Chain A
Amino acid sequence: MTTENAPVTPKILRDETIIDVEHVSFWYGDRPALKDVTMAIDRQVITAFIGPSGCGKTTLLRLINRMNDLVPQVRMTGRIRMNGVDIYGPDTDVTRLRRRVGMVFQQPNPFPKSIYENVAYGPRIHGVKSGGFLDEIVERCLRRAFLWEEVQAQLEESALGLSLGQQQRLCIARAIAVEPEVLLMDEPCSSLDPVATSRIEELMLDLKDDYTIVIVTHNMQQAARVSETTGFMLKGELVEMGVTDAMFTTPRDRRTEDYITGRAG
């Protein structure tokens, strides 16, 4: 954790808030994807975003680690702060930001390298040389991702030989190998079977103690099972956000109710 070093502005932030999104709007070309989204994400809880396809939840997620920088012809207004610092500010080093905000993608996407090299990739680019220390990191992260027992005998084999569920856990191990504070998960179980899905969910609940997890899912049951806070998005707007249980039992907004009861979306 590097929170000690980060400048904090206590007036605005409650101390449990790690990410603050203020009046963010976003366009792909002329097409609006987010409309004036404001919200806060708390430290070391699991926050879920649900909503129909194209509602902007993945866009919102990808703004937090600036992955949308890679997309041409996009425009953003508003402000996103992490630990009080504007991550779109002129002094922000994008690679350092991404190191602190890890990401797990919809499709398991291990590198076409060995299992070991997949986990070692992040530490290596951040300057860790081969040797015992790197071995330790790899083992620790694989254990943390509930994968060590299954793969310890085949660390040098291709990661592409693993099952999809194992590949996704490897991607989680790869993400936590650079010691991020926040872990963004973009529909991490959408290509997995129910057994693999439940293993990932188990893993998320375990990781919660050390990481702030933001998950995008269109599986409402999953959001209900793992998250403490849920946001419902529709057509680029954040309709409502609150404690998960409350939202699923007594939604405040009519549109949320329609969506979670299956009447719309």
Chain B
Amino acid sequence: MGSKWSKDDALIWLSGGTLVLGFLMVAGLILVIVVHGLGMFWPQELTRYELRDGRIVLGHETSRVSVRTTGSAGERSVTYRLGIRTGDRERYPDEYTWLEEGRVAGRDTPREAVVVERVRGGDLFGFLESFVDDGTVVARGFEAVRAHYREQAPELERLRRQRALSIVLSSEDGRQHSVSLSNVQRIYAPNEMTTWAKVRHYMGGAWAYLWSPPRDENRLGGVYPAIFGTAAMVILMSVVVMPFGVLAAFYLREYGKPGPFLNVVRVAVNSLAGVPSIVFGVFGLGFFVYFLGGTLDSVFFPADLPEPTFGRGGILWCALTLALLTLPVVIVAVEEGLAGVPPVLREASHALGATRFETLWRVVVPVVLPSILTGLILSVARAAGTVAPLMITGVVAFSAELPVDGAWPFVHLEREFMHLGFHIFDTGFRPDGGEASLPMAYTSTLLLLAIVVALNAAAIGLRSRLRRRYSLAVA
């Protein structure tokens, strides 16, 4: 039986198995990102855990891990430990705590438990006690406070400027927190929400995520400045890289005389594609930021020195660095497109008395347009996903200003900016080690992934559509 196995069979199984393994790993990665990323805005029910020692913990379970222990007599046992998100950074660093499942005496989901999302300081979980208006208690108890809050909500913005409004929240162990309304982003009671209310809450959260600035050191709030910064930087990069890439490809394929020089240029272009991105970052820092930026400063902004204007990281330098990084992508795509233009088309044009330029402009460029667009979209996808070189040429974790705003001269190319990729790094790998911002990292990863996938899909779709249109019908 076994002797019938040929080397061919083995190779088929090996290569097929490798393919399946790779596919499963990619699928698993995407699944993890999607599940975690999409779950971020779903209101989690709050559970009250009563422990055997009388302690009470309010929060929602995020993980349950098994712990193997060996007792003194050598007997083995398995216990479980619950990871609970508790909010309230003052009591629980990282807003997390661990509970031994065996020590939980009882659990319930109190209907009145609320989540108070604060602008600063993270979330608080607890129970509404009272609504305080300029030192006077105007409502007491869950229903009354909530009714009062909802009643005031439309005018809250105005009221909170005139009077000191606050709500008092008691945590599960009876401690009282007073939270100024100016620090309240949102209050909701997840345990009594209907599915419909949760969906609305989810939609609202997702919307706010896309369109609002971050809060609380990127742990909460939205990523709008990061999306904007990424888009602005990528557009700027495209404006720079496309003319250079397209013209370089035209020279290589149309005007350059085939020979050692062109071969050297091609090898150089291909090598450029293989250089680690951080090396581009170092080059960008040295050449663009220090040399070009420094020169600009000493020529145009000497009054501000030693405070640098262009001589520090900024969106322009990031765009130029990434333009260098993606130049090979554009050149290769356009060159391939040019190589695919049937020679008979050029001959037909020349035979009609067209010059080389007329042939290029009126026949070759329209045919090669899909390749130019493909090059553009591939370079955009590459640029949107590259972070390392940006970290030293102008990306920051948090920036209050967008690179485009209403202040003269409206476009501020020298400004540092936020970037989605760096946002992931910042939220996922904070030096303070907190897990509080991990959901945010997943969501931002999902968003970036979606953007890159959408761009690549657009590239493929565009290419196939235009190829159909320009393919020559031959017998």
Contacts and interface: CB of A to CB of B under 8 A. Distances in A.
Interface of A: 65, 67, 70, 72, 95-99, 102-103, 105, 107, 109-113, 121-122, 124-126, 158, 160-161, 164, 167, 171, 174-175, 178, 191
A102 B469 contact: no
Interface string B364-400: 0011000000000000000000000000000000000
Contacts of A99: 352-353
Contacts of B258: 72
Given A95-B355, A102-B352, A122-B353, A160 B473 contact: yes
Nearest to B471: A160
Given A107-B344, A111-B349, A191-B474, 16 more contacts: A67-B347, A70-B347, A98-B350, A98-B353, A99-B353, A102-B351, A103-B347, A122-B352, A122-B354, A125-B352, A125-B358, A125-B362, A160-B471, A174-B352, A178-B352, A178-B353
Most buried by A among B346, B352, B363: B352
Contact of A103 (B342, B345, B351, B366): B351
B275 interface: no
Interface in B428-475: 469-475
B348 interface: yes
B366 A112 contact: yes
B372 to A, nearest CB: 15
Nearest to A117: B362
Contact of B350 (A67, A72, A124, A161): A67
Contacts of A160: 471-473
Nearest to A106: B344
A178 B347 CA distance: 15
Nearest to B367: A112
B118 to A, nearest CB: 61
10 contacts: A70-B347, A98-B353, A103-B351, A111-B348, A113-B366, A121-B349, A121-B362, A167-B473, A171-B348, A178-B353
Interface in B217-231: none
Contact of A111 (B345, B353, B355, B469): B345
Interface string B322-366: 000000000000000000001011111111111100100011001
Interface string B180-202: 00000000000000000000000
A67 B350 CA distance: 8
A232 to B, nearest CB: 25
A74 to B, nearest CB: 15
Contacts of A161: 473
Given A95-B353, A112-B472, A105 B358 contact: no
B470 A112 contact: yes
Most buried by B among A95, A99, A112, A167: A112
Interface of B: 258, 342, 344-355, 358, 362-363, 366-367, 469-475
Nearest to A159: B473
Nearest to A184: B351
Nearest to B468: A160
A219 to B, nearest CB: 16
A125 B351 contact: no
B475 A175 contact: no
B304 to A, nearest CB: 54
A140 B387 CA distance: 61
Nearest to A126: B353
B156 to A, nearest CB: 60
A158 B470 CA distance: 9
B419 to A, nearest CB: 40
A175 B342 CA distance: 19
Contacts of B475: 164, 191
Contact of B473 (A103, A124, A164, A174): A164
A96 B352 CA distance: 9
Most buried by A among B342, B350, B471: B350
A121 B361 CA distance: 12
Contacts of A95: 353-355
B354 A107 contact: no
Nearest to A171: B348
A108 to B, nearest CB: 8
A215 to B, nearest CB: 15
A107 B474 contact: yes
Contacts of B362: 121, 124-125
B259 to A, nearest CB: 10
Nearest to A124: B362
B471 to A, nearest CB: 8
A72 B348 CA distance: 18
Given A125-B358, A171-B348, A109 B353 contact: no
A96 B362 CA distance: 18
A52 B345 CA distance: 26
B345 A70 contact: no
Contacts of A65: 351
Contacts of B350: 67, 70, 98
Contacts of A96: 353
A109 B344 contact: yes
A237 B156 CA distance: 98
